[in-house]
Amino acid sequence: MAGMNHVRHAASVRGLDTTVLDAALVVARRAVDAGYGPDGFSRLGEILGMTERADRSRC
């Protein structure tokens, strides 16, 4: 996450749109909070799937 935060900060300082980076950081934070931090980016698909299922259950 430190690397992602660095890229986001560098983009922001240069006046670039960070919307996609911010969204990616939210997903990464969810993965870390769910205990997947040591697993790397491969677990992000699982986190995204959990979000998608939760969204569908609200319909």
Burial state string for 20-35 with b = 16 or more CB within 10 A and e = fewer than 16: ebeebbebbebbeeee
Q: Is 16 exposed, middle or buried (0-12, 13-18, 19+ CB in 10 A)?
A: exposed
Residue 52 has pLDDT above 70, yes or no: no
pLDDT at 21: 94
pLDDT for res 59 = 56
Q: What is the pLDDT of residue 58?
A: 56
Query: How many domains, in total, are found in the chain?
Result: 1
Largest CA distance in the chain: 40
Quote the pTM value: 0.67
Q: pLDDT tens digit string along 3-47? A: 899 999 999 999 999 999 999 899 888 888 888 888 777 777 777
| Domain carrying residue 18 | 2-57
